[in-house]
Amino acid sequence: MANPVLLVHGGAWAIPDDMVEAHTNGVNNAAGAGWRALEKGGCALDAVEEAVAVLENDDTFDAGRGSFLNRDGKVQLDALMMCGATLRAGGVGCVERIKNPVRAARVILEKSPHIYFVGEGAERYAEEHGVTLCDNADLVLPRELERWKQAKEQSYLTVPSEFCGPTNSHDTVGAVALDAEGNIAAATSTGGTLNKAPGRVGDSSLIGCGCYADNDTAAASTTGWGEPMMKLVFAKWATDQVTWEHSPEEVAPESIRHLHRRLNGHGGIILVDRQGRVGIAHNTPRMAWALRRHEHSSAGVKFPN
Cβ neighbours of residue 212 closer than 8 Å, sequence gap 6 or more = 82, 186, 219, 220, 235, 236, 238, 239
Q: Which of 12, 7, 11 is nearest to 304 (CA)?
A: 12
- d(CA 9, CA 81) in angstroms, rounded, equals 14
Q: Which phi and psi (to 5°) does residue 291 adopt?
A: -130, 135
Question: Catalytic amino acids?
Answer: 172
**Measured between alpha carbons, how far is residue 48 from residues 58, 64, 152, 170, 289 in Å?**
16, 15, 35, 20, 14
Long-range CB pairs of 154-161, under 8 A, 24+ apart, other chains included: 156/194, 156/195, 157/193, 157/194, 157/195, 157/196
Q: Which residues contact 36 (CB under 8 A, 6 or more apart)?
A: 50
Residue 177 backbone zone (phi > 0: left; psi -120 to 50: alpha; other: beta): beta
Taking CA atoms, 52 is separated from 10, 16, 175, in Å, by: 9, 22, 7
